[in-house]
Structures are given as structure tokens and as C-alpha cells.
Structure 1
């Protein structure tokens, strides 16, 4: 039990990180205190940027097959249906954005797909294994795991949720606020009496709004209910009672309850994402309202950002402090923005269509698709051009997809564990192992001074320069220089 990386928590964050490390040949141990994967549909919306990540991880086909576009929302009043409306705008794929729409997949199915991919890559999860304590020094982390014993690792990543044992052991405070003092209920159930083509919302129901969303690839509906008074009853009888009280359906319409949980929406951010050799990711680092479908996506992107950096440090000898420090420098501001966005959408009305809802603020789109997430000004974003227009593609930006001269996609060339050097020069410069070089004009014309674009393994522009001599020092940071 001497993995390079110990990961606690086999949710979307831990599974994504474990996949990233496994495909790079980094020994990792992923432990989960529960006896099996999380069974609920909770985080069901996958944003366009996350779909791009899943394409790189090799699971997009399975994600597509397991899901669907968001259904239109159908508001009900006094047992009568209203006019359906779209919560997410319809979008057409473009050369730069191949996956423009949010895709709905129940969280449990997303986790199953990631788990299957992890096992394909040679990894696995140790279930029923809980971290009970740990210490760290300059060389690594020593942890006690129930069912395993003592584990020593070079790094520990906490992906163990909003009540993270690791974060509390480190003494890192969560700073934030209660988004809504009213409790909410979420449950997966089966019922009769509603079609599966709409997301049924009951915005003016007595006791608080309620929604029933059909989960793709299943016979389930996800129930969401907000409580004006009292506490949610998560028992089968309690769930049947709230459906009967707030909809035109009777309690017998609910034929099965498969999972249920109650919560109070809160927005909180860890004061820091790293202490020494221990790092926080996903809900261990940030929690917020589910409005806007940001939580699972932000967590997956934490893991995607961190995974290649740990691998380059451990396998290639990259700059340890710069790579590790860049994780917090890049992801903490993103998480802070996500808290603001999700809180704003929640307060606009978590169920679009309820009284007082500003539908334009509640609607999803450019602010929630996470395609504009970037790291301009970050420690790994170096742009040597002067001047650069604000609207120009810059270091720190997501590298857009494009069509290459041979008809293939740039994303096809990016897929994998390597960095990619794109140049407008007639002949690409020689690149070391771990870097793929190609000529491509879509990011700029092949006139004047040729431009070099070094795309990081996570698909963001790291270095942009017109001087090939700038390439070697940057690659040295990543441990990729000859």
C-alpha cells in the first residue's frame, strides 16, 4: 500500500482523477467509505465543457447513449398543464464547439460509466474503506484506512464531499452563506400519470414548489420539492404524501421510491485548496446550490485540472511548487464564480415558472456551459505577444476545436495524455517526447511572424509566443524538455 496518490471518495471527482492518473501510469489508490457507488440521480446535468472532457477520457459515447437533451418544462396549475418552455436553449454544433448543449444523465449512471472506464485502465475502487486519520511530512502522507490499515502515499487528494474528513482534519474553514433557509427534498421514484417527454413543474403548489423530471435511460423521475414550512419527510409515506398534496396525482401514483435525501442549499468555499501534500477537490473544496447544474461539472473539472499536473510532477519531474500552486490559483477563482452563478440562479427561482421567477436569469446558457472558463493571468498562462486584443485567443483560454487540413478535428489530435504544439509556421519546430506538434492556421494566419500555441494536456493554452526560444523554458516547467 504505497501508491503515489491516495484519493478519498469515489464520486465524480475521485473517479475522474483516478482515470486521469491511471491513463498516465501513475499508481493511485481510490477509497470509498460506502459499500458501493452513490445510488442517486442528484447531479444530472453535464455541461458542454464537461462533455469535451469526457470525450478526451474516452467515455463520451457511453454518456451520450445514457442521456438526452433537457426536456421542456411543463408548468401545472390546479391540475391543468400550461405552455411548455425550454430551460436550456437549443444550440447547433459548430467547428469550434462540437458539444454545445447540456446533456442530462443521472449522476449514478455517470459514475458507473467512469468506474467502468477506470477498470478498463487498470484501476479500481476499494469500497468500505474509510480514511480515519492522517499525518504528512516533506516526503509524503501516512493515512489510516479502515479495512486496509496504514497507507503511505506521496500525495493525498480529498474528494470526500462537503463534510470532508480530510478538510476538517487540516482545519481549513469553509467560508460562505446559506443560499436559502428553506429545506429541500430530492428523491428518485417511479410513478404513473405523467408523460416522460416533459419536466413537470408545480410552481404554485401548497407548501412549496415541486418538480418531477424524467431520468433518461430509466423508468425513474427525479423529484425536487422545496418546503415553505416544516422539514422534509424522506420516508416512502412522506414522499407519497408530498406528491399527493402538491400535484393532481394521488399517493398511489408513486409506485416505488429508490433513493431520497434532504438538504438546505448553501454556498461555501474552502479558504485554500492545498496544505502541503494534501489537496482538496470537488465538494470538499466548494459547495453550492444545484441550480444551474454546476456542481458535478466543476468537480470533474477540478480533477481534470489536477490530474495531469500530479502526473507531470510524479512521472516527468515537473516544477513541483509551480504545478501544485497553479491548481489553487486556477480553480479557486472558478469555484468562486460558480458559487455566484448558482446562487443567482437559485434566488431567481430554482424552479423556473414559479411566482417571482425571472425566467431569463433562471435559464441556463452561456453563463453555465463553462466553455468560457479559463486561466488568463494564471501561473501557467504565458503570452509573449504584445499587444494582444482582449477578444483574441490568449494563453489561459480553452483551445477551441477546429478542422485540420486533412479533414480531422483538432480535438482528435488533442485527445490523450500529451501536450500539443500548434504553429502557423510552414514547418513545426522539433518537439520533445510528450508533445505532439502540428501545423494549423485556424488560430491565426500563416503570415508575418509565425505563432506557437502550446496546448496543455487539459486543453487550455499554456504558452503563446512568436519566439521558438520561449518553448523550452515553458516545457521544463511541465517536465517535458529534452
Structure 2
């Protein structure tokens, strides 16, 4: 298995495959790890999924937990969203520089015997029925052709793989320039457990605190011109903070700054034969909400267990690999739409519309159901696959394709070194596992309710649910995956 790109998405992909025992090589043309903090927020659903490999605890140990998101306009509070009510073992947004997240993932990957090959460039590839041939350039300039079963493109917004495939990156570039940076500061008016968005008539100002004296700050620069946007240095950024912020904040040091334009783009298919696209190679969008990295890492986790089952010969049905695009592309579109709405709401140019926005947002965001909907979307715990071809029959409140909430004190679904479905129930769960010993493990229901048999995917989403006594109804479902099973034990 070849992975192009050793950022957080590629590292997540490699870690998942490596712990499942799939031989993997991960490459990146950059000669050494980057030390800039592009993404900063790790959301609850991502932490839940990283808990399966053991990486979540290490990332949490170095991050800053944010439990409140404040929105202010004209010095007045518009809304205060409580993240600690998110239904997750991790009810917070974890603020941690991307390079530190990557360092944790590399460390866990190394523990599985895999080290990213940096300075290695993918020059091209050709597919056939049995695999693909990749032409690689090593750091010393030598070129070689290597064979792989599959290629996963995690090589970013300017993906070489996507260009080689000739896939269109459909979408638009928004007409505003932006700048961002990581700064040391004093005078931040909230605890470091609270982020803040200041809506201003000239453009929004966002603070993502990473420590009591450090924050990621993002603000708009105005309408785009033909020239590339130029990042504000600390002195100019200070003036922007004074003009759009609450006052009293002093920037005391700069870690890095950059400027950018927001693109909202997505490929028409996340798969082309034996090549899959994940993360920014497949979708890019506004940084509002900080969900780009999270969405990409969840792409990788969705795909990895499917590739592992196919690689190990446990499953062979084309529908299993085809489900990656069918499940993840709608999620990418949803994130693009949601982050785009947040950006447009925060950058309304008309003053009258700004006042209307503030009034309506204050009313709506004060309603508990609206707060739950917004925080659930931000945390990505509300994301599911209701129209997945992998969904089987389901009973009860949780429908097939929905996230199964992790239970405190119980190992996460999909933890361990094999990509297996978990059958939670009574005697029916054990009988189902005996039919599919390489694919299903039995687990007593954490709730103690054994009348219902729930079949949970390796990535923690419900595959199917039937009455425990009707466990045989799931045999055709698992057979549909092209699995090998043995005959019933008499």
C-alpha cells in the first residue's frame, strides 16, 4: 500500500493500516517535517476515532481544551456555545499545533514499524487489474518503479495524484483575502478554555487559544485583488486586533504568519480504480470551524479498515471499497456548505444585514436545540452515513449508518490490531461471531440489554441491528461483503 503525503491525513491512514497489519509505505516530497501550525483544532469525533489506536491520549496531553465558543459583535455577546455538553467522552475542542499532532501520529506509527520516507517524490503511476506501478524519485535523485496494491492520495490541495488522474476540482474561490498567525499575547479577555469570534463591520476576528498566552488569530483583509494576499506582520496585525477586537489585547511575539484565499472545492469521485483521495486532495473549504484536518483524518479512518479487510482477503466485495466515496463525499459536501455559511455570515458587507444577523443569531443560538445542532456539527459527532450501501437492517433508536456513542470504560469499537465488526448482544452475538471468526467478535451489551443484537463497524458506526434471536438475519448481510465464513457449529 502506498500513501502519498505524510501530513496528518496520510499519517492517520498509515497508522490505521499498520496497526491492522497491512504493509504500507508512506512518502512525502518534503525533506523534513514542517514546523508551522496550519490546523489547530482537533474535534471530539476525531479524538474518539484516534482513541482506537491509542493516539488520542497523547494528543490530549499536549493540547488546550476549549469548552466554550463565544461570538460577539459591537462589544456585545451574540452567543455562547457550550462545548462541554457534546455527547462524547471528549466534550471539548482540543487546540494543538498541527506539527505536534503529526509528531504524535509519527511516534505511534514508528511503534508499528513504519517510518515516513521524506524527500521521496511520486512522479507518476499506472494502474492495471492487479495493482499499480508507481515511479518514485528518491532523495538522492535516483528513480525507480515500485509495485503496490493501492495508492491513497493524501498530498494536499495541490495534489499531484489528483492532477495525474485528470479529476476536476469543482468549486470556487471566495472573493476575500485572509491572514492568520500564531501569536503570543496578553490581555485576552476570556480564559484559555474559551475561544472567541468577534464580528466586526469590516470583517471578523477569530481567536483560538492554545495556551493562556498563545492563540491562533484569523482575520479578513478585504476584497481580493489580482495579486496574491500578503500576510500581516505583528505590528500590522496588532492594529487589526485593536480595530476589530475588544481592546486591551497586546501581541507580544510571533510564531508564524500566512495569508490565503478560501477555496470551496471537491472532486466528483474520491476513487479512481485502485487510487483513493483523502483530505485536501479530495475537498477543501473555509477554515471557519477548523474542520479541514478533522474531516481528512476521518476520511482516512473510514477507508483504512475497508482496505485492510480486502488486503487480508477477509472481504472482497466491490461494494466495500465503493462505499468510501459514497459515504465520505456527502460528508465533504456538508462540511463545505456549513463552513461556507459560517464564513458568509461573518463577512456580511451590509451594515443593516449585520444588525439583522446579530439579532437573529442571538435569539436562535440561545435555544438549546439549536446549540446542540451547531455543536454536534462542529464536533462532527452528528456525522453519519444514512444512505450507505453498507447499511443493513436496523431496529431501535439508532439507525444503520449512525455513530455509536463510545461508552466510558469500554474499549472503543475498532481498537486492537484486526479490523473486525463488533456484535453486541446476547447468545446471538456469539453465534454470529462463530460463523464469521475473521470478521466478527462478540461483546456483551454495555447497557445490559441483550434482546437487541447490534453490529458495529470497525470505525464505530452502526452496520445493522436485529433482535438477538434473529441473529441469522445478519448472515446474508455479512456474506454480501464477500466474506469467508464457516458452517454453523452444531
**TM-score, L = length of structure 2:** 0.82
C-alpha distance in 2, partners of 1:480/1:50?
31
C-alpha distance in 2, partners of 1:74/1:372?
22
Partner of 1:372: 382
How far did 1:272 drift?
0.7
Provide Cα deviations, 1:143-180, integer angstroms capped at 9, x if missing partner. Answer: 222216332211010001111110111011112233x3
C-alpha distance in 1, partners of 2:330/2:69?
32
Partner of 2:181: 187
Partner of 1:233: 230
C-alpha distance in 1, partners of 2:89/2:208?
26
Q: Is the 8 A contact 1:291 1:350 kept in 2?
A: no
Q: Is the 8 A contact 2:86 2:375 kept in 1?
A: no
SS for the counterpart of 2:378 is coil
Partner of 2:29: 33
Quick check: which one's strand share is greater? Answer: 2
Provide Cα deviations, 1:363-402, integer angstroms capped at 9, x if missing partner. Answer: 741222222222223221111x6xx57xx22222212234
Q: Structure 2: which 5+ residue stretches go unaligned?
A: 349-353
Q: Is the 8 A contact 1:76 1:200 kept in 2?
A: no
Change (3 A) 1:346 1:468: same
SS for the counterpart of 2:51 is helix
Q: Is the 8 A contact 1:211 1:224 kept in 2?
A: yes
C-alpha distance in 2, partners of 1:455/1:369?
21
SS for the counterpart of 1:124 is coil
Q: 1:155 aligns with which of 145, 150, 159?
A: 150
5 Å-filtered alignment, 1:48-87, equals 48-67=44-63, 68-70=65-67, 73=70, 82=75
Partner of 1:140: 131
Q: Is the 8 A contact 1:233 1:239 kept in 2?
A: no
Partner of 1:440: 445
SS for the counterpart of 2:52 is helix
Q: Is the 8 A contact 1:40 1:188 kept in 2?
A: no
Partner of 1:99: 90
Q: Is the 8 A contact 2:14 2:109 kept in 1?
A: yes
Asked if 1:421 corresponds to 2:426, the answer is no
Change (3 A) 1:401 1:232: same
C-alpha distance in 2, partners of 1:202/1:294?
19
SS for the counterpart of 1:437 is strand
How far did 1:452 drift?
2.6
SS for the counterpart of 1:322 is helix
Partner of 2:320: 323
Change (3 A) 1:74 1:366: closer
Q: Is the 8 A contact 2:306 2:320 kept in 1?
A: yes
Provide Cα deviations, 1:228-276, integer angstroms capped at 9, x if missing partner. Answer: 25664337xx3422323542799x9655433222221121110111111
Provide Cα deviations, 1:14-45, integer angstroms capped at 9, x if missing partner. Answer: 01100000001111111112223333333222
How far did 1:425 drift?
4.4
How far did 1:309 drift?
0.5
Partner of 2:466: 465
Change (3 A) 1:213 1:126: same
Q: Is the 8 A contact 1:452 1:465 kept in 2?
A: yes
Q: Is the 8 A contact 1:472 1:481 kept in 2?
A: no
C-alpha distance in 2, partners of 1:239/1:233?
13
Provide Cα deviations, 1:57-92, integer angstroms capped at 9, x if missing partner. Answer: 201211221221256548697xxxx46776541434
SS for the counterpart of 1:300 is helix
Change (3 A) 1:171 1:24: same
Change (3 A) 1:345 1:204: closer
C-alpha distance in 1, partners of 2:14/2:439?
20
Q: Is the 8 A contact 2:429 2:471 kept in 1?
A: no
Q: Structure 1: which 5+ residue stretches go unaligned?
A: none
Partner of 1:452: 453
Report the RMSD for the aligned CA atoms in angstroms: 3.2
C-alpha distance in 2, partners of 1:413/1:160?
28
Provide Cα deviations, 1:261-304, integer angstroms capped at 9, x if missing partner. Answer: 22211211101111111111111111111112221111111000
**TM-score, L = length of structure 1:** 0.83
SS for the counterpart of 1:459 is coil
Which sits farther off after the overlay, 186-195 or 20-29? Answer: 186-195
5 Å-filtered alignment, 1:190-209, equals 190-192=184-186, 194=188, 197=192, 199=195, 203-204=199-200, 208-209=203-204
Q: Is the 8 A contact 2:51 2:412 kept in 1?
A: no
Change (3 A) 1:316 1:471: farther
SS for the counterpart of 2:376 is coil
Change (3 A) 1:338 1:208: closer
C-alpha distance in 2, partners of 1:53/1:85?
33
Q: 2:113 aligns with which of 122, 127, 132?
A: 122
